[in-house]
Amino acid sequence: MKFGIMVNEGPFNHQASDSAYQFAKAAIAKGHQVMRVFFYYDGVNNANRLSEPQSDDRNLVKLWGEMAKTHKVDLVVCVAAALRRGIKDELLAEGFHISGLGQLTEIGIAADRLLVFGD
Amino acid sequence: MSEEPVFDTQGVVRKFMFVNRKAPYGTIYALEILESVLISAAFEQDISVAFLDDGVFQIKKGHDPKDLGMKNFSPTYRALGGYDIEKLYVEKESMEARGLGPDDFVVKVQVVPAAELSKLMAEQDVLITG
């Protein structure tokens, strides 16, 4: 099955990004495809390359980036949500790119299922 | 910046429902989901918007948030009709629990009981919540 994922909360503050990541990982392991992850609301903070969790903690920003690279998952950060939170190209971690809200609608149309993680 | 894949969406019309459950101010959810509703209109999909829980306050008449330093974005809901987004649902139970009636809203809505809204949700291809 082809999945689209929407992440609506920032990392560490909320479990949404962890849950979305674990879901994506499990789906890929079962042979499904995760076409795109769309980061919206505070979810755009998942793309901040300056994020530096303690060394014994998971690094969500890095984990998403690695998944994007290994499994060709498109990590889209919403431009409107990102700009008002100061997330710009120069701050993006590897594997993420900034694009428009149309990418959310597009994945809603193209994927078999769109899953929303957040409050 | 990595390369952006393009997925084929040509000629596909799906049923999208945006589910608004949050009060208009206090958090940004209401404002940002509204931005995504407006963008989705460009894709010629079958769009509906539901208001439930405190989300019913998003379209209540008479917002005046200037003392909060925020802009009143409720007039934007009136623009939805211009984008052919005309299926607006308010959950009856949420509306009544908050002492509101069908005439309290800035847009024309269909008031539907929770059980009916649940059926409408089950018919959708995509649910986007905020």
Do B30 and A93 meet the contact criterion of CB atoms below 8 Å apart?
no
Q: Could you write out the three-class secondary structure of B60-107?
A: ECCCCCHHHCCCCCCHHHHHHHHHCCCEEEEEHHHHHHCCCCHHHECC
Residue B8 pLDDT > 90: no
Q: Please state whether beta strands A113-117 and B15-20 pair in parallel, antiparallel, or not at all (unpaired).
A: unpaired
The average pLDDT across A25-54 equals 98
- Nearest chain A residue to B36, by CA: A101
Look at residues A64, A9, A7 and name the one whose alpha carbon lies nearest to residue A42: A9
Residue B105 pLDDT > 70: yes
Q: How far apart, in Å, are the Cα atoms of A118 and each of A7, A19, A30, B64?
A: 6, 9, 24, 28
Return the residue matching tokens 């986007």.
B128
> What pLDDT is recorded for position B85?
96
A105 and B CB contact within 8 Å: yes
pLDDT digits 0-9 by tens, A52-77: 999 999 999 999 999 999 999 999 99
Exposure string (b/e) for A66-100, b if CB count within 10 Å is 16 or more?
ebbeeeebbbbbbbebbeebebeeebbbebbbbbe
Specify the fold of A2-113. Hypothetical Protein Ychn; Chain: A, (3.40.1260)
Q: How many CA atoms lie within 13 A of B119 on its CB side?
A: 4
Considering only CB atoms, which chain B residues are within 8 Å of A99?
4
Residue B27 pLDDT > 60: yes
Q: Nearest CA of chain A to the CA of B7: how many Å?
A: 6
Residue A49 pLDDT > 90: yes
Instruction: Delineate the domains of chain B, giving CATH numbers in brackets.
Output: 15-129 (3.40.1260.10)
Residue A86 pLDDT > 80: yes
Considering only CB atoms, which chain B residues are within 8 Å of A74?
4-5
Residue B2 pLDDT > 80: no
pLDDT digits 0-9 by tens, A98-109: 999 999 999 999
> What pLDDT is recorded for position A69?
97
- Considering only CB atoms, B126 lies closest to which of A76, A108, A118, namely A108
Question: Would you place residue B22 in the very low, low, confident or very high pLDDT band (cuts 50, 70, 90)?
Answer: very high
Look over chain A and give the mean of its residue pLDDT values, rounded to a whole number.
97
Q: Please state whether beta strands A74-78 and A33-39 pair in parallel, antiparallel, or not at all (unpaired).
A: parallel
> Domain map of chain A by residue range?
2-113
- Nearest chain A residue to B15, by CA: A109
Q: How far apart, in Å, are the Cα atoms of B64 and each of A51, B42, B53?
A: 37, 30, 20
CB atoms within 10 A of CB B92: 19
Question: Would you place residue A119 in the very low, low, confident or very high pLDDT band (cuts 50, 70, 90)?
Answer: confident
Percent of chain B whose predicted confidence (pLDDT) is above 70? 98
- Nearest chain A residue to B44, by CA: A105
Q: Could you write out the three-class secondary structure of chain A?
A: CEEEEEECCCCCCCCHHHHHHHHHHHHHHCCCEEEEEEECHHHHHHHECCCCCCCCCCCHHHHHHHHHHHHCCEEEEEHHHHHHCCCCHHHECCCEEEECCHHHHHHHHHCCEEEEECC
The average pLDDT across B95-111 equals 98
